[in-house]
């Protein structure tokens, strides 16, 4: 896929207003938020149910955080690309995301870096 | 109190800034993003969705700043108004509205404090309960001769070892703060806010329950632990 139109994403973040912001911002780029999760467990369930192209994953969430969700998402939803979207990105977070080979974007008001990351991961081939 | 060595002070300074940055990033990100969306927004969506979210997050930034000052024991964030008799039951009902948290019964009399500080303290405890509950949390009330207490009970799955450490946010490294969701400013702020009015927040953890108690005096009592 080389166009943003038609891209479907699941947003996982325990902050309702971050989910709202992403939904409105991504809509401007032709990207649909097909489901919203409030923790890692919901993110996995919703990715299994909706089969999005991408899941945008906050790292700091209750019940199951993003660090725990990544290996489980890879196992249960291998075709769903993961982008970590975090309010913190110190050495620990950067090292962990590099270890998992997950692109990391820092939360800020500018949607374009996130959209670029979404387009980039969607253009990569899936495992099957 | 002995002064920590320079390296330890530098570590504490960086950890404080890390926590502050993390806490403020969500409302600031949201305000900036939503403000930019307003330019081309449908007027009805702007009025009903975007502007209310802007107000909500601006208010949240303001409260976070006050909480950070209070949790850091900076007295400039204390209210200049005098404390007064407050209805802890009414505050509990207001902060649990539209949440899964139910309020059982009512306190047997007024407490003494600043209504806005107590509301913020209880909102932090309720927010924690909403995020971590395994089944519906509830608030009930306890009292004795000196104090009135709101008890927030959250059914959870798993016990927190060394539960008192959740109040020590500034002394945790990035990996601990990052991995342990909920170890933000909420509980330390709730305790500091209660202490302004001579009250306190305490917590207990068992394998199936997390219990937070917001205790307030029945009459005026000096603030605790505030420089």
Instruction: Give the pair of three-digit tokens for residue B4.
Output: 């920590």
Yes or no, beta carbons of B179 and A65 under 8 Å apart: yes
Residue written as tokens 């009292």? B143
Å between A55 CA and nearest CA of chain B: 19
R_g of chain A, CA atoms, integer Å: 13
Q: Is A93 on the interface with B (CB under 8 A)?
A: yes
- Round the CA-based radius of gyration of chain B to a whole number and report it: 19
CA of B156: which chain A residue's CA is closest? A63
Which pLDDT belongs to residue B204? Answer: 93
Structure-block tokens of residue A15: 């902050």
Residue A38: what pLDDT?
93
Please count the residues of chain B: 227
Residues of chain B contacting A23 with CB distance shorter than 8 Å? none
A93 contacts on B by Cβ (under 8 Å): 174, 178
ipTM field = 0.87
* A63 pLDDT tier (thresholds 50, 70, 90): confident
Q: Give start and end residues of each alpha helix (H) in chain A.
A: 16-28, 40-50, 66-76, 91-100, 112-123
- The torsion of the CA quartet B33, A110, A26, B43, rounded to 10 degrees, works out to 30
Compute the distance between CA of residue B68 and CA of residue B117 in angstroms, rounded to an integer: 13
Quick check: B34 and A24 CB within 8 A?
A: yes
Question: Measured between CB atoms, does B102 come within 8 Å of chain A?
Answer: no
What does the block give as tokens for B116? 């806005």
Query: Strands B102-103, A104-106: parallel, antiparallel or unpaired by DSSP?
Result: unpaired
pTM confidence score:
0.79
Q: What is the pLDDT of residue A3?
A: 45
Q: Which residue of B has its CA nearest to A109?
A: B33
Say if residues B155 and B204 touch (Cβ distance below 8 Å): no
* Averaged pLDDT in 10-residue chunks for chain B of 227 residues: 68 73 87 94 96 94 87 76 92 94 95 94 92 90 95 90 75 51 74 93 93 93 60
Distance from CA of B32 to the nearest CA of A (A): 5
Q: In 3-state terms, what secondary structure has residue A91?
A: helix
Q: What is the mean pLDDT of residues A39-46?
A: 96
Segment A42-63 mean pLDDT: 94
Alpha-carbon distance B112 to B84, whole Å? Answer: 5
Tell whether A20 lies on the interface with B, counting CB pairs under 8 A. Answer: yes
pLDDT tens figures, B128-170: 898 888 889 999 999 999 999 999 999 988 888 788 877 776 5
**Does position A1 have pLDDT exceeding 50, yes or no?**
no
- Mean per-residue pLDDT over chain A, rounded: 92
Residues in A touching B56 (Cβ below 8 Å):
17
Q: What is the mean pLDDT of chain B?
A: 85
């Amino acid at each position: 896929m080389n166009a943003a139109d038609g891209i479907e994403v699941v947003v996982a973040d325990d902050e309702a207003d971050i989910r709202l912001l992403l939904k409105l911002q991504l809509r401007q780029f032709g990207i649909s938020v097909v489901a919203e999760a409030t923790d890692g467990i919901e993110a996995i369930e919703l990715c299994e149910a909706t089969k999005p192209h991408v899941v945008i994953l906050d790292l700091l969430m209750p019940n199951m955080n993003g660090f725990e969700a990544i290996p489980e998402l890879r196992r249960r939803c291998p075709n769903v690309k993961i982008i970590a979207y975090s309010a913190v990105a110190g050495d620990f977070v950067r090292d962990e995301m590099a270890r998992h080979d997950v692109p990391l974007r820092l939360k800020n008001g500018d949607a374009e870096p996130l959209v670029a990351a979404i387009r980039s991961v969607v253009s990569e081939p899936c495992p099957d | 109190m002995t002064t920590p060595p320079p390296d330890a002070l530098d570590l504490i300074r960086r950890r404080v800034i890390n926590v502050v940055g993390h806490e403020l990033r969500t409302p600031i990100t949201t305000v900036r993003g939503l403000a930019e969306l307003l330019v081309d927004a449908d007027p009805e969506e702007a009025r009903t969705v975007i502007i209310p979210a802007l107000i909500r997050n601006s208010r949240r930034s303001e409260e976070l700043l006050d909480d950070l000052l209070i949790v850091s024991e900076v007295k400039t964030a204390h209210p200049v108004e005098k404390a007064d008799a407050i209805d802890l039951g009414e505050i509990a009902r207001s902060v649990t509205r539209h949440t899964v948290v139910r309020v059982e019964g009512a306190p047997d009399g007024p407490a003494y404090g600043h209504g806005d500080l107590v509301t913020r303290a209880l909102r932090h405890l309720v927010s924690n309960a909403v995020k971590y509950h395994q089944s519906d949390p509830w608030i009930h009330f306890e009292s004795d001769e000196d104090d009135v207490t709101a008890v927030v009970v959250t059914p959870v799955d798993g016990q927190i070892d060394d539960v008192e450490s959740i109040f020590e946010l500034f002394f945790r490294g990035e990996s601990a703060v990052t991995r342990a969701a909920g170890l933000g400013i909420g509980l330390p702020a709730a305790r500091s806010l209660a202490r302004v009015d001579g009250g306190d927040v305490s917590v207990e953890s068992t394998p199936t329950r997390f219990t937070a108690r917001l205790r307030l005096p029945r009459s005026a009592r000096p603030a605790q632990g505030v420089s």
